Amino acid sequence: MFDVEVENITKRFGDFVAVDGLSFSVGHGEIFGLLGPNGAGKSTLIRMMTTLVPPTSGTARINNFDIVRQPNEVRQSIGVIPQAMTSDLELTALENLTIFSKLYGISREQRKKNIPKLLEDVDLTQWADKPIKMFSGGMRRRLEIARGLVHQPKIFFLDEPTTGLDPVSRVSVWEMLARLKRERDLTIIVTTHYMDEADKLCDRIAIIDHGKLAALDSPLKLKASIPGKNILEVSFNGAPENWIETLRVLPEVADVKSHENVFRISSNNGPKTTVELLETARDKNVAIASLSVQSTTLDDVFVYYTGHQLRDALQAPSAAESPYMMKRGGGGL
């Protein structure tokens, strides 16, 4: 039995297809990452799964409830941290948690028990009575995480929870999520732009591009699925027109992609390819402007499957977003 089952879900905004027939399942207790460039359809997908946006066709079952036919049961089963900050800056941490507990119909006795524990879980006990406008970005994010858990949901959706945070706060948020998942037996679905985070923390990752599923597997298997064990990123001065063909026939080269003057060479043996590359460049009188050799990362997987770096894309005019929507940064559909 899966906690999340997405079946051929599609969302159109006029002629623009934001999500195009996606299907996947998420098992209980998984941390499931949704990766994709801006405008890929991640947020629209999360909004459909959390009943905020109705799908054009297809559906999803969350905790065995249908998002179209049983939205209230879905809402009771899930905790959601949307992209936008949805807590009141003027209210204290305690007040925010209390009011949201009431919105979920939690009894006074239950609130008295739950809220102090939640504040403790997100390290905000000593700040409970301070208005959250005094909080740092990381503290606000932790409070939002606590707020999403006031009704003890089974499945937790987070839309770019670490965007806009400093590296220390990012690590703290992810560690907290991993701990909460263990302690509260959660299934977590998260979108992020940070590949290193997704690599370390997600059990499985779906790469979404142009509303479609480009790849889905564990980070390890995704990295193994692309050609080469090392990536050489190299730029040249005075490279001839057919230079990419020359690079492709170097020893151990699995694949070569180029963008402007930068060549990404996937190699099964990085050191050997590097030596050959240097010799070939010298023989052909091509100067090397820069060169780096690294092991395959999730970034390389992402570039391999989507064909581009995280890019800015024209965002579809979503009903969810006004031009004044305050965001933490980045993000999109």
Which residues, numbered 126-145, are part of the site for other proteins (CB under 8 A)? 131
Least Å distance, CB 130 to other proteins, is 13
Q: Which stretch binds other proteins (CB under 8 A): 75-83, 169-177, 206-214, 217-225?
A: 75-83
Query: Which residue lies nearer to other proteins by CB, 178 or 320?
Result: 320
Shortest Å, Cβ 103 to other proteins: 4
* 325 touches other proteins (CB under 8 A): yes
CA quadruple 86, 183, 106, 113: dihedral, nearest 10:
-110
Question: For residues 302 and 207, is the Cβ–Cβ distance under 8 A?
Answer: yes
Name which of 113 and 221 has its Cβ closer to other proteins: 113
Non-local CB neighbours of 111 within 8 Å, separated by 6+ positions: 98, 101, 102
Site string for other proteins, 44-63 (x = CB under 8 A): ---x--xxxxx---------
- How is the beta sheet containing 253-259 ordered, strand by strand? 253-259, 262-267, 230-237, 287-295
C-beta of 147 vs 223, nearer to other proteins? 147
End-to-end CA distance of the chain: 29
Give 106 or 281: the residue with its C-beta nearer to other proteins: 106
- Contact region for other proteins (CB under 8 A) — 87-95, 114-122, 186-194, 211-219? 87-95
Q: Do the Cβ atoms of 154 and 3 come closer than 8 Å?
A: yes
Q: Which stretch binds other proteins (CB under 8 A): 4-12, 100-108, 255-263, 276-284?
A: 100-108
Whole-angstrom Cα distance, residue 37 to residue 43? Answer: 11
Size of the site for other proteins (CB under 8 A): 39
**Interface with other proteins (CB under 8 A):** 47, 50-54, 71-72, 75-76, 78, 80, 82-88, 90-91, 95, 99-100, 102-105, 131, 147, 318-326
